[in-house]
């Protein structure tokens, strides 16, 4: 078997399991005890009010240098210490955000045959899926998803986008267009903050030829949320991620030291996180941080993760200006195609990929 042609076992939709009203989850979804979420406050000495930074972007793209400098300094702290932050007043219409999320919710509630017509394979992952990774017998996550490409334009194929609800394709198209623009603006800010020319990171990503794709996650209700995860711990392999979380149901947890912080989403904010490729380009000045998703017994959850990635066949390596004698290049060059093969074969595995590349002696 070509490893990336077929799933190793028949695919089971987690939503169907959830709707069959089991009171115990199948063994395949039970995580080892060290990976399970902790819901008891005794085991957990974290302050539950802690949240990732929330940054209001009003004024960031305007002339007032003081306002701009203040916002850039908040972004700097967030990228260096958290790898995650929420942005408000980012320029994407709140109505479009709501339409996109609710359109996808309707898709996941469509009859199974509508969704099955778009079932995906591990070759490209495009379409309706229920697992990441092709390892036979792997322990699975409690979620289904839909994955599609928006850029480069030769990979954008409406026929692989869902046909239901009727307006969803136009909504996705407009939503992704807005997010490409927003990511382009943020890339300039990150470049300047790193002391580079404003187009530096974008050029390192391949200029106009970046990649962009959307994964919509559907986390069905789960009768034993303490035994499993909606999405296992991972860092994002790409460049930048813009996450639109569910507006009703929290679930995303971000690692901070030895703790997991549950993100409290701000209304109509995007959650931005640094991916592994930006960690590499920034020579680890910016952190791509592990995160995971918990599920719950009473409510389903929908989230839209938009990934802004480098052109997939150009080498990504630390920017020369960020290499010093004190901090030599921490990573060898690697294309994004080579890099993401790891997660496509093995599924989410914490930060093992980017950490395994680290080599103090190189470049
Ligand atoms: O659902 C979430 O909140 C996070 C999703 C995520 O981490 C991902 O799709 O990579």
CB 108 within 8 A of CB 118: no
Q: Which of 146, 252, 264 has most ligand 1 atoms within 8 Å of CB, for mutation?
A: 252
Chain length of the chain: 363
Residue 361 has pLDDT above 50, yes or no: no
**CATH architecture assignment, domain 2-362:** Sandwich (2.60)
Q: How far is the CA of 241 from the centre of ligand 1 (A)?
A: 9
* In the chain, domain spans: 2-362
Minimum-distance ligand 1 atom for the alpha carbon of 303: 1
Q: How far is the CA of 275 from the centre of ligand 1 (A)?
A: 12
* pLDDT per residue as tens digits for the range 234-273: 999 999 999 999 989 999 999 999 999 999 999 999 999 9
Residue 185 has pLDDT above 60, yes or no: yes
DSSP H helices, 86-232, are 94-108, 112-116, 168-193, 200-204
- Kind plus residue range of the DSSP H or E element containing 56: strand 54-56
* pLDDT per residue as tens digits for the range 164-181: 999 999 999 999 999 999
pLDDT band at 204; cut points 50, 70, 90: very high
pLDDT of residue 44: 56
pLDDT of residue 48: 78
pTM above 0.85, yes or no: yes
User: SS in 3 state form for 334-363?
Assistant: EEHHHHHHHHHHHCCCECHHHHHHCCCCCC
Minimum-distance ligand 1 atom for the alpha carbon of 301: 1
Residue 108 has, within 13 A of its CA and on its CB side, a CA count of: 28
Minimum-distance ligand 1 atom for the alpha carbon of 292: 7
Residue owning the nearest CA to atom 2 of ligand 1: 252
pLDDT band at 41; cut points 50, 70, 90: low
Distance CA 338, CA 206 (A): 16
Helices and strands: H and E segment counts in the chain? 9, 14
Pairing mode, if any, of strands 334-335 and 127-129? unpaired
Residue owning the nearest CA to atom 9 of ligand 1: 305
Q: How far is the CA of 203 from the centre of ligand 1 (A)?
A: 27
**Residues having CB within 6 Å of any atom of ligand 1:** 215, 217, 231, 236, 243, 245, 251-252, 291, 293, 303, 305
* pLDDT per residue as tens digits for the range 93-137: 999 999 999 999 999 999 999 999 999 999 999 999 999 989 999
Q: Could you tell me what percent of the chain has a pLDDT over 90?
A: 86
Q: What is the mean pLDDT of the chain?
A: 93
CB 302 within 8 A of CB 218: yes
């Amino acid at each position: 078997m070509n490893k990336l042609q077929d799933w190793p076992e028949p695919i089971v939709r987690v939503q169907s399991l959830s709707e069959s009203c089991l009171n115990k989850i199948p063994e395949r979804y039970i995580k080892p005890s060290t990976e399970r979420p902790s819901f008891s406050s005794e085991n957990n000495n974290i302050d539950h009010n802690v949240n990732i930074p929330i940054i209001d972007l009003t004024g960031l793209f305007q002339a007032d240098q003081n306002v701009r400098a203040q916002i850039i300094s908040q972004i700097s702290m967030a990228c260096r210490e958290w790898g995650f932050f929420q942005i408000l007043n980012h320029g994407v219409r709140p109505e479009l955000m709501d339409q996109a999320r609710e359109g996808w919710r309707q898709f996941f509630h469509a009859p199974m045959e509508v969704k099955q017509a778009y079932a995906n394979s591990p070759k490209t992952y495009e379409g309706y899926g229920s697992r990441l990774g092709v390892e036979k017998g792997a322990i699975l996550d409690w979620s289904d998803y839909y994955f599609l490409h928006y850029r480069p334009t030769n990979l954008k194929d409406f026929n692989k986008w869902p046909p239901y609800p009727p307006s969803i394709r136009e909504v996705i198209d407009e939503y992704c267009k807005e997010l490409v623009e927003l990511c382009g603006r943020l890339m300039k800010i990150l470049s300047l903050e790193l002391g580079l020319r404003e187009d530096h990171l974008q050029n390192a990503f391949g200029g106009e030829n970046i990649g962009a794709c959307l994964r919509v996650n559907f986390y069905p209700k789960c009768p034993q949320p303490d035994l499993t995860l909606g999405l296992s711990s991972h860092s994002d392999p790409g460049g930048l991620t813009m996450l639109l979380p569910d507006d009703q149901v929290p679930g995303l947890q971000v690692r901070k030291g030895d703790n997991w912080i549950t993100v409290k989403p701000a209304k109509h904010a995007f959650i931005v996180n640094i991916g592994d490729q930006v960690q590499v380009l920034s020579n680890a000045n910016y952190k791509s941080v592990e995160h995971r998703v918990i599920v719950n017994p009473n409510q389903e959850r929908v989230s839209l993760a938009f990934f802004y990635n480098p052109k997939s066949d150009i080498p990504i390596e630390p920017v020369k200006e960020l290499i010093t004698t004190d901090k030599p290049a921490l990573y060898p060059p690697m294309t994004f195609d080579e890099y993401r093969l790891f997660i496509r074969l093995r599924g989410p595995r914490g930060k093992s990929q980017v950490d395994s590349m680290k080599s103090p002696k190189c470049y």
